[in-house]
Structure 1
Amino acid sequence: MTLTLLTGGARSGKSALAVHRARRTGTPVVFVATGQARDAEMADRISRHRAERPEGWTTVEAPLELVAAVTALPPDRTVVVDCLSLWVSNLLERGDDEQVVTTQAGELARWGAAYPGTVVVVTNEVGLGLVPMHPVSRDYRDRLGRVNALVAASADLAQLVVAGRTLTLDPVED
């Protein structure tokens, strides 16, 4: 039973690493996708991600009800959740307030830490750049940062992925 959080910038190799690690477990894999093909670029991105996954993997689409989707999974699987960034964006767009989002993130983190199998969660790190000018962009950055921190706090392993390489993140000392 392990919960791993992989974070980093766009196109840093997070998803490919999650797929690679899931492949190596030797157990049945469930890929939980949060993206929605709302335009041609996103449809292409989803198509490329699907092509990376081996045949025989189960895919669960959960753009909004992520917690309900993962808690319904059978035990002893390898679960890849890709990704929290899109999930938080979807919840923000739906109008969920910050308390709803962080409560769900806490439930997801507790589930992942207790799940009898391997869980790999993918997310973007969006707080390393300039402070966004638009209030909605700042709200998204802040919410995603809080969600990432909640999941990382429950994770056995948290890694920053940069240029296809990982840096293990140590827990914050009290």
Structure 2
Amino acid sequence: MIRLVTGGVRSGKSQFAEEIAQRAGEKVLYVATGVPGDEKMQERIARHRDRRPKSWGLVEEEWDLEVAITRSGEWDACLIDDLGVWTANHVMRLSEEAIQEDQGGFEAQMAEKTDRLLDVLQDREAILVTAETGLGGVVMSRMGRLFQDTLGTVNQQVAKKADEVWLVVCGIPYRIKGGDA
């Protein structure tokens, strides 16, 4: 079963996803996409790490999620936190020239990566966390718009294949697709 948990920044989506993963079994693989680039990001990563059970497996992977998951062995559930950071990691690799000239090629590449990820997770217990991009205005910079558009496409792609989709607002989860958690 694939579950997508979405919401705004600091909405409680990661914590809710962790609660779902704990109910899925003892052997949980946590796939972290965050890169500790500055002090604030290091603090955020530490908060997530401190909150998780020590028994969970950890894979830190910012680029090739499907490869990391395939190599990780057997587990009861896989929690990926998060697709927004994963998408941002790929956007940040692009040159300014590539961003300026992009005509949808990057978005298509990310759609292919997302398909491969979903193929690996098919018929497994997986919880994917993402940031909701559809509630704010359009970002003014080209890089920001590329990120926003691409993440919106990734989110829609995952939501379409997911058995359940949850929206977390102010720490309160709302099921918007599928059955019980």
TM-score normalized with structure 2 length: 0.87
For residues 165 and 174 of structure 2, what CA distance do their matches in structure 1 show?
A: 9
Deviations 1:63-105 (A, max 9, x none): 1111211122324421100000000000111228222211001
Q: Does 1:131 align with 2:138?
A: yes
Q: Does 1:98 align with 2:107?
A: yes
The answer to whether the 8 Å contact 1:110/1:154 transfers is: no
Unaligned runs of 5+ in 1: none
Structure 1 residue identity aligned to 2:61: A
SS at match of 1:114: coil
Report the equivalent of 1:166: 173
Deviations 1:11-65 (A, max 9, x none): 1111101111111223301100000100000000000000010111111001111
Report the equivalent of 1:145: 152
The answer to whether the 8 Å contact 2:107/2:150 transfers is: yes
* Correspondence list, 1:8-157, <5 A: 8-95=7-94, 97-115=106-124, 118-157=125-164
Structure 2 residue identity aligned to 1:99: A
Q: Give every structure 1 segment of 4 or more consecutive aligned residues whose post-TM-superposition deviation is greater than 3 Å.
A: none
Unaligned runs of 5+ in 2: 95-104
Structure 2 residue identity aligned to 1:154: K
Report the equivalent of 1:5: 4
